[in-house]
Structure 1
């Protein structure tokens, strides 16, 4: 809460989430991500270049149990991974 008693809104993470799918395809880059993002179908690796943890989910709606990728780290993602969100 702020000094005036109003809730402080959540802010987007600073930095990028970079997703690799396959050779010879462009990287998917999410600048200053906020909220839930559906991953490209062929995603194989996610790199967290933000200042906050990123959660990777098996469904496209950020609802199932997740793994957490800390800032400055990357992770392979399961073949049918559906989405990610920023804490």
Structure 2
């Protein structure tokens, strides 16, 4: 007797999610590039149209990050986009489009 009730509840929840747009939307990409300078002996690391919400590990000797996208980039002090880095008075590690900032090679970044 209990099984039909559970099945009906699950079916109703599934239908509601579908009607409310519960289907997963494809990830959006920021337009532009995030460019990371490490050392004079290495080529630039260029992230072309980075996916929004995806965490990117910074190269080991990272020194500068330039946000040449149309979205805000958030820089983190640790891999896995943990612990926002305090940059130029920004407590959330945000770098606005058209701006750059110093970073460290143990960090990571995410585009929003």
Q: Same fold (TM over 0.5)?
A: yes
Q: Distance in 2 between matches of 1:49 and 1:22?
A: 19
Matches within 5 A, 1:1-87: 5-6=20-21, 9=25, 10-34=27-51, 35-66=54-85, 67-77=93-103, 79-87=104-112
Could you give the per-residue CA deviations for residues 42-72 of structure 1, whole angstroms, max 9, x where no partner exists? 0000000000000010111002123110001
Q: Distance in 2 between matches of 1:60 and 1:14?
A: 24
Determine if contact 1:56/1:81 at 8 Å carries over to the other structure.
no
| Long gaps (5+) in structure 1 | none
Determine if contact 1:36/1:84 at 8 Å carries over to the other structure.
yes
Structure whose alpha-carbon radius of gyration is higher: 2
Q: Distance in 1 between matches of 2:79 and 2:71?
A: 20
Question: How many residues get paired?
Answer: 83
Q: Larger relative CO (CA 8 A, sep 6+): 1 or 2?
A: 1
Let me know the Cα RMSD of the aligned residues: 1.6
Q: Which has the higher helix share?
A: 2
Any idea what SS the aligned residue of 1:13 has? coil
| Long gaps (5+) in structure 2 | 1-18, 86-92
Determine if contact 1:54/1:69 at 8 Å carries over to the other structure.
yes
Q: Which has the higher strand share?
A: 1
Q: Distance in 2 between matches of 1:80 and 1:33?
A: 19
